[in-house]
Structure 1
Amino acid sequence: MIYFISGGGTAGHIYPAISIADSIRKIDENAKFYYVGIKGKLEEEIAKKEGYEFLPVTSMPLILKPSIKAIKSLNSFIKGVKTSKKYIDKYHPDAIICTGGYVSGPIGYAAKLKKIPLYIHESNAYPGITTNFLDRFSKITFLPYESVKENFKNKKNKVVAGTPIRSQFNMEIKDENHKLTVLSFGGSGGQKSLNEAVGGIFTEYKDFKYDWIHICGRNWEKEFHELVPELPKYATVYTYYYEFYELMKKADLVICGCGAQTLNEVSAMKKPSVLIPKMNVVKNHQYFNAKKYEDENAGVLIKETDLNKDILLEVVDRLMNDREKLKTMGENAGHLFVKDSADIIAKNIYEDLKK
């Protein structure tokens, strides 16, 4: 069968789509996939790197309040739907799978217009605008956990499946032969509050008893270099890192934003974490993602409004000097991981298409 997959803007929307496709291939040997996304964005780069034929569409964030931006958004959406319909006519997909981000809007709506089965995965505690919009047309909407169902108007056609992650994020992977290491990152684009706090630590403290790896994000490469012109010896900084699991397995403590994909990867590798949810997200969903981990003693939550270099360093030092605490938090994080999520989604989609 032929499948269109779409999800973009951040790696947290892109890699679940690719993971689902990988799982579908296990049960549909003749499966053919096309990745639908915005030209020049991260999804094009990753999709091509992973070997997918890329189909570009136009799309902008959906804006509901009347404004000039809303008109531009609507025009972009209409143009994207027209392009998506042409792709459907050309390639005749049997199913369209969307994993979030505004790029999913046009192809998802085109699926409805062309009567192509649509399947959605939502990874966060609160669905985004695009997911809420497409849910009414979806044959099955997959959720990370049961309580998320309450945040949808339509409670039907929901399947709890966890959040798909790349197979390399394996719970059994361990790297014991390394110096104590902190890993910090704020998503593929970067996180201002975290970059400033980590940058402040790197600037003020020139010597540590452990290593610190920081990923500043694509949107922060220049700014972070200006913030920290000369790195201390214990620090390593990357703009982005494709084989991210290689860094994760080295980490004794992870400091991160709280997208659902990130937290699931942290859980899969049983890593203790310091959680810094971004504030400027739909319905503050990152906070609720993080709160679940704090409540299970799997992570320490610091609000962005409270974050600075001194508070971050105090928490990091306290945890890094308490090996038993780190071990307990890591084990608790592992309990939150839903194994075989991509396989569950793939099986449901394939069986539904065979009906």
Structure 2
Amino acid sequence: MKRGRKIIIAGGGTGGHIFPAIAIANALKQLEPETELLFVGAKGKMEMEKVPQAGYRIEGLDIAGFNRSSLIKNVGLPFKLIRSFFQVKKIFQSFRPDAVIGVGGYSSFPVLKYAQQKGVASFLHESNSFAGKSNQMLGRHADKVFVATDGMEKFFPAGKIMITGNPVRTAIVSATLSREEGIRFFGLDPSRTTILSIGGSLGAKSINEAIDAGLGQFETEGLQLIWQTGKPYSQRGKEVAEGKGNVWVNEFITQMEYAYAAADVIISRAGAMAIAEICVVKKPAVLVPYPFAAEDHQTVNARNLADKHAAILVSDGDAKNKLVQTAIDLAKDPLQQKELKNNISPLSVTHADRIIATEVLRLTGQKI
């Protein structure tokens, strides 16, 4: 019996890294069921919960990222990085991978760096249209760099780049739910226009505060709201929505396919994966980029769509005064909704996970 390839998938920190990683893992297993997979993440981060839920094994590293808001918190960072390399060495000695795929996040760097030092096939997936410094370093020595958009030659060697788009969760790509099914899932009224607000897996302070302040306006305008607050704002969100029949609120939506089916208009951060999902479901969206993302890549992501008239961009600083009214105006304007849908539809990529998995298996096969 043929031995399956052993592949490590490293990274995490947010849903934007974890869900594409799981999509790639699923595609690898579909293409070659004997493939043995191991995830490596950062202890205390959400991948340690989400990956086992998806049915995969994960090892955690003692690592943290650079804290831009408090330099004093970075004092122990070099020690954590050194410790993580020892942990990675132990994982490699035990698992003996044929290849490593990095999807971004704290744990991606030490795993890919070690793989490259040891001559193990390494692959990088850069989901954003602006690559961070560590990914640029890793990309120089990777066997292949999978990217979401064109124009990435300024970050990576042109010969290593493969444009694949971003992997989107299978449940979203293959969903056949009707709008009514989606709305009833949240206990809301199918006859009302529905706005979905998602701030990413960890929540979005400016979006939540804007919605909190303008909650009454949705009711006045006859609109209803599905509001994913993230954990930090969950309690406050539930308090202000108490007794409002037109608002569903929770910290996290586990079955996003129902939320996307229900939505007539989406309010979202502009992380690469959020945008990839909005493109797949082809919904009109108001994007509020997180301004402190590395190299302000969320603004770059959002502007790419706004310049194509495929989404509306509201800056984080303007969210408090403009976001709710912008979303309401869009919800009341079927012609603008149609224009945004028409322009976002060609940007949809539904099989990035399979393209990436196929290429990884092809190139890993050459190396074994």
Residue type of the alignment partner of 1:164: P
Q: 2: distance between equivalents of 1:195 and 1:204?
A: 14
Residue type of the alignment partner of 1:277: P
1:304 to 316, 321, 328: 316
Identity score, percent: 28
Q: 2: distance between equivalents of 1:190 and 1:101?
A: 17
1:190 to 183, 188, 203: 203
1:157 to 143, 155, 160: 160
For structure 1, list consecutive stretches of 5 or more residues without a partner in the other structure. none
Residue type of the alignment partner of 1:211: Q
In the superposition, relative to structure 1, how do residues 191 and 68 fare at CA in structure 2: closer, same or farther (>3 Å)?
closer
In the superposition, relative to structure 1, how do residues 16 and 288 fare at CA in structure 2: closer, same or farther (>3 Å)?
same
* Cα offset, 1:116, TM superposition: 1.4
Q: 2: distance between equivalents of 1:315 and 1:38?
A: 38
1:278 counterpart SS class = coil
1:289 to 301, 312, 337: 301
In the superposition, relative to structure 1, how do residues 12 and 118 fare at CA in structure 2: closer, same or farther (>3 Å)?
same
1:159 counterpart SS class = strand
Cα deviation, 1:93-123, whole Å, max 9, x if unaligned, reads 1111110011212212221233211111000
* Cα offset, 1:322, TM superposition: 1.7
1:317 — aligned with what?
328
2:47 — aligned with what?
43
Residue pair 1:202, 1:231 contacting (<8 A) in 2 also: no
Residue pair 1:62, 1:129 contacting (<8 A) in 2 also: no
Residue pair 2:280, 2:348 contacting (<8 A) in 1 also: yes
Residue type of the alignment partner of 2:330: L
Equivalenced residue count is 350
Residue pair 1:181, 1:211 contacting (<8 A) in 2 also: yes
Q: 1: distance between equivalents of 2:287 and 2:38?
A: 35
Residue type of the alignment partner of 1:315: T
2:249 to 219, 237, 245: 237
Structure 2 residue 231 is the aligned partner of structure 1 residue 218: yes
* Cα offset, 1:317, TM superposition: 2.2
* Cα offset, 1:218, TM superposition: 2.1
1:28 — aligned with what?
32
Cα deviation, 1:210-259, whole Å, max 9, x if unaligned, reads 21001111232245456x27352211111011211211111000000000
The structure with the greater share of residues assigned to helix is 2
1:134 — aligned with what?
138
Q: Structure 1: which 4+ aligned runs deviate by more than 3 Å?
A: 67-71, 153-156, 171-174, 203-208, 222-226
Residue type of the alignment partner of 1:258: A
Residue pair 1:171, 1:269 contacting (<8 A) in 2 also: no
2:352 — aligned with what?
341
Q: 2: distance between equivalents of 1:63 and 1:156?
A: 33
In the superposition, relative to structure 1, how do residues 229 and 322 fare at CA in structure 2: closer, same or farther (>3 Å)?
closer
Q: 2: distance between equivalents of 1:63 and 1:108?
A: 21
For structure 2, list consecutive stretches of 5 or more residues without a partner in the other structure. 181-189
Compute the RMSD of aligned alpha carbons: 2.0
In the superposition, relative to structure 1, how do residues 293 and 173 fare at CA in structure 2: closer, same or farther (>3 Å)?
farther
Q: 2: distance between equivalents of 1:319 and 1:107?
A: 44
1:8 — aligned with what?
12
Q: 1: distance between equivalents of 2:65 and 2:34?
A: 34
Residue pair 1:63, 1:73 contacting (<8 A) in 2 also: no
2:173 — aligned with what?
170
Q: 2: distance between equivalents of 1:3 and 1:153?
A: 23
In the superposition, relative to structure 1, how do residues 63 and 158 fare at CA in structure 2: closer, same or farther (>3 Å)?
farther
Matches within 5 A, 1:52-91: 52-62=56-66, 69-91=73-95
TM-score by length of 2: 0.89
In the superposition, relative to structure 1, how do residues 62 and 313 fare at CA in structure 2: closer, same or farther (>3 Å)?
closer
1:145 — aligned with what?
149
